[in-house]
Structure 1
Amino acid sequence: MKQIDFAVTDLSLDRQNPRHDVSTPTTREAIAALLEADPEKWVNLAQDIAAVGLNPTELTIVVEEEGDMVVIEGNRRVSALKALLEPDLVDHPGIRQQIGIIARRHRSTIPRTVRCVVSPSREAARHWIVLRHTGENQGVGVVRWNHEQVTRYAKKKNPSERALRFIHQVAAWYADDRDLLENVEKVRTSRLTTLARVLSDPKIRHSLGIEFTQDGILADYTPEAMHGSIRKIFSDLASHLSVSLIKSKEQRREYIGTLQDHLPQNSDRLAQPRLVKSTEEKKPALQTSATPSASAQEIQPKNPATKRPSEDKRVFQNVILRNVSSRTSKVLNEAKKVTIAESPNVAAIMIRAVIDITVSEAAERQGWRRRQDKLRDRIRVALSHIDPENQDRDLDEARRMSQNDGALSVKNLHAFMHQWAVEPMIIDVTRLSSVYTPMLVKIDAYLGENHK
């Protein structure tokens, strides 16, 4: 079999795709069939291809039939590419809008060609297609990693893992600093890779007084001494500091210069660095006396009793609404007491309740009264006002999930409350809380800026 690059427009989707119950004679019908099966996954694939490109380790297989190059392996990725290049191929209006937004944002990176393996016939490719889609096949196919292996690889290779550890620790150190925690949440949801780039520079780590080990974070200063510099970094990341501004060593040296007035003083440096173990693994230490150890005094926040839980453990745990009514604020605060892992059913219901009451209040106060019979409509209208140009990437996931019919759609938020047979999974509830956090925060900010 030979490999050839084909223009996306020169490839035809398979009318006999095993994924479909019936034949799909046109590209539009093939895309509609794939969306019917799982719209959320298909849109996720389109987003990934637009942002990162096609997976070079998985080549598309084509066969020539009646003068057309027909895709017999890789129909999902090719259909996503065709839609990105021509969004009107998508019949569903909400998903067509999402694909259009993705296409505009990644216009310069969307692949126009696909490296394909040309098979002499369908039968000649059958063996490889079967292996691709039917599991391990006693070792002949792809043997998947177990959870331990996945975790081991992620720790070694994922640069964002260190950034997440740092975020967890900052949230624990500065549990009372609301402004900092708001910026931490913004960074976690939209600037995590930028934080990872900052922390990848040894000179920045040295200036801050931190270093990462397998067991945790080595700190050269107390949290109090580092407060100013950490506050400055997260404020910059949440506002203007992007990857393009710290891409090179020279740019990062310039950035260190902007931190000089906020860095801890050398006179505050500890005699020996103190190891702060991961906040996800650390257990409360039993004290043998009423006075904590020197190490604990140096590393722990001033008020350990107010230490925040680990990331994403509670419903909307980092959301603070200052411009809503007293009742809406109380509903949110009561929801934030729910631990997702312990009470996933209550958590799912509270997520829906907080979203509904917040967008409903915003609509009533701002006079957004058109086409709001359903919750998804109220969410859509709210998003259209707080981000009329669809340019805020923090809101992409809320926009996509609220308007499609996938596994985490608004339809399922209703099902969590009204259907006895639907049981929410912890991972899904956690993601819902994370996805809608930026929307709630930005609605609150909008209300503060637009008093009526």
Structure 2
Amino acid sequence: MVEYLELSIDELLLDEDNPRLGSVNSQSAALEAIIHLKESHFRNLMLSIKNNGLDPGDNLYVIISAEEDDFIVLEGNRRLSALMVLNSPDVLDGTGVPETIKKSLVRAAAGFDRTKIEPIRCVRFERREDANDWIYRRHTGGADGEGRISWGPLEIQRFSGDRSILDVLDFVGRNADYSDEEWESTKTAIESKKSSNLARLLESAAGRKHLGISISNDGDGKTPMLGSDPTWAIKVLRRIIDDVRDGIVDSRDLNKSSDIEEYFIKLPKELQPQTGKSEAPRPFNDIDIKKRPTAAKAAKTSTKQKTKSAPKPRTTLAPRRHPFHAPTSTKGEALLREAGDLDANRFTISAAFVLRSFIELAINDYMGANKIKKFEKNSNGENVELDLTQKSDIVLKHIVAADGSKNADLRGFRNNILTKTSATSIQSLNGFVHNKFQLPTADALRAGWDCSVPIFIAAYGSI
């Protein structure tokens, strides 16, 4: 059971057993430790509370003190610390906070009116343990959906009307030569986990200068403008997005502005800005550079198609001829033969089994030939075999380390086989076996085979 209370600043105590701090032995020590977490952030919190008040949707969590005349704050100690200093800056005198910091906080407290804050809404729990479950959910991120999930850069931009990255992504989706399936998986990967890395590159001074991007503030939000040749810019943007998606650049590579500058400097010559090629800035949203056939050309093409028959599309999982040698094992030869004979339109689930089996065979054969370990020790010190996704990731890195030019050839495998949301990911192929409702499509399986060919070549050699 909980009880909702309205309390004053004077009735509240800091938690001397706060997980942020460890155990301390006094209220002054607790206050000092909270300020030292980051002095500038503490001052900003004071100013925010003084100017805006407390969040009306957020309560402090409290339990009654042992003396039963005050309440210990279990959740909200930073807010209470800020309120204490705002209400009575003299509390700093009992701490070891440096004088320069004290003076800054005293200035921030000037003009605070406690009547605009009090009473403070609190939730009283009977015991500390009763509050702990709720506190855990608040401070452990998503907690598998139970906790508060922080917004990423793109979600913040959507909320604030800032289109700086969103319009650029839409521009790439409209104009780059991704297949629909590849763009969907790429966009999902960027938006779900890697938007901050993309934002670091595109919002940096070096990135905007390189691409000729400017930002228009039109009163309703921020609109990105492109002042360079769109056909050149789309190539640069595709390279950036692919590098972020594939983890070629990540937060460790982009810590400083000099790191970002170096990234752009090292792009290939054809992706470097050309002197004198700037154009009048246009909103990314207004640019469409894909060449679309005119009505006359489309009609002409249509006429040609009537007189010349198009090649018959393949129905089998794999083509009959392969650019790689057949595996030497009996099972490998049989799988390859069946992949070329199996009509994926009629025997879709069987084709999914064969695709997954041949990928796993190729990955294991490559690891064996290159003496790559397939096991790792678990927490009990036991050798446990890596799963197929882990093995595949290791093999891809090994191939690229040996020959960096192969990285582009492997992108299809990353997007279609290693991206969990793909229709032919390893997880989806497993699902076709174990999930009674999950069914593959023939086209997706054929695409899965085709994008895996570079792995098969690496495992068995090119013909």
Q: TM-score range by the shorter chain?
A: 0.3 to 0.5
Q: What TM-score comes out, normalization by structure 1 length?
A: 0.36
Between the two structures, name the one with larger relative contact order (CA 8 Å, sep ≥ 6). Answer: 1
Q: What TM-score comes out, normalization by structure 2 length?
A: 0.36
Larger Rg: 2
